[in-house]
A and B are shown apart, each in its own frame.
Chain A
Amino acid sequence: GQQVMQIPQYQHVQEGEDFTTYCNSSTTLSNIQWYKQRPGGHPVFLIQLVKSGEVKKQKRLTFQFGEAKKNSSLHITATQTTDVGTYFCTLVFGNEKLTFGTGTRLTIIP
């Protein structure tokens, strides 16, 4: 079956440090989406990446899609307490079925 690896599973950082989560697929993707879920909340859409090698930025967040369209990363610069939550990659395969990654739970130490 299609494997979705997201690493790390947990990340604790000091406020102000950077954070990166990685998402890997064993199969070429149609596109990838990223969502953030705050504790006690529901997933909220962050961004979609479609093109090979695509890089998109949202303020302190940088999203990257691998050249082979099999992996992606989300990097947060200078984390803030508002960044706390679980970040999910969502893989979209050719059949348009969405598969969520296992998520990376980010906690911030003030």
Chain B
Amino acid sequence: KAGVTQTPRYLIKTRGQQVTLSCSPISGHRSVSWYQQTPGQGLQFLFEYFSETQRNKGNFPGRFSGRQFSNSRSEMNVSTLELGDSALYLCASSPSAAVPPLHFGNGTRLTVT
């Protein structure tokens, strides 16, 4: 079985721009969650989607949004990028919401200049 695929692997954007990251879960997994990882803040939960519905949301501003498609693929969007948004964005999938294990992708490294 193919693992969780995140694209792109690396991204460089400038302040004020917006960005869209993509995540393809393991086949058959219906839950996708997103995390931001930074050296200072660690791994922080962004949001979780299950069957195209957002089930849970972390404490991030409205500039961070996401969606899930009928094939369980998910995208997250960050608008009006700030320097502090530079981070590794990880996506994880699982068969159903909150049922472990979470299978993580390799992440998208976003750098905002």
- What is the chain B residue whose CB lies nearest that of A44? B104
CB atoms of B97 and A96 under 8 A apart: yes
CB atoms of A42 and B100 under 8 A apart: no
B62 within 8 A of A: no
Contact A103 to B98, CB < 8 A, known contacts A96-B55, A96-B56:
no
Contact A33 to B100, CB < 8 A, known contacts A42-B105, A100-B44:
yes
Number of interface residues of B (CB under 8 A): 22
Q: What are the residues of chain B within 8 A of A97 when measuring CB–CB?
A: 45, 48, 56, 58
Contact A43 to B106, CB < 8 A, known contacts A33-B101, A95-B56, A96-B56:
no
Q: What are the residues of chain A within 8 A of B55 when measuring CB–CB?
A: 96
Measuring CB to CB, which residues of chain B are less than 8 angstroms from any residue of chain A? 33, 35, 42-45, 48, 55-56, 58, 90, 92, 97-98, 100-107
User: What are 19 contact pairs spanning A and B, CB under 8 A?
Assistant: A33-B101, A35-B102, A43-B92, A43-B102, A43-B104, A45-B102, A48-B100, A48-B101, A88-B42, A90-B102, A96-B97, A96-B98, A97-B48, A97-B56, A97-B58, A98-B45, A99-B45, A100-B35, A100-B43
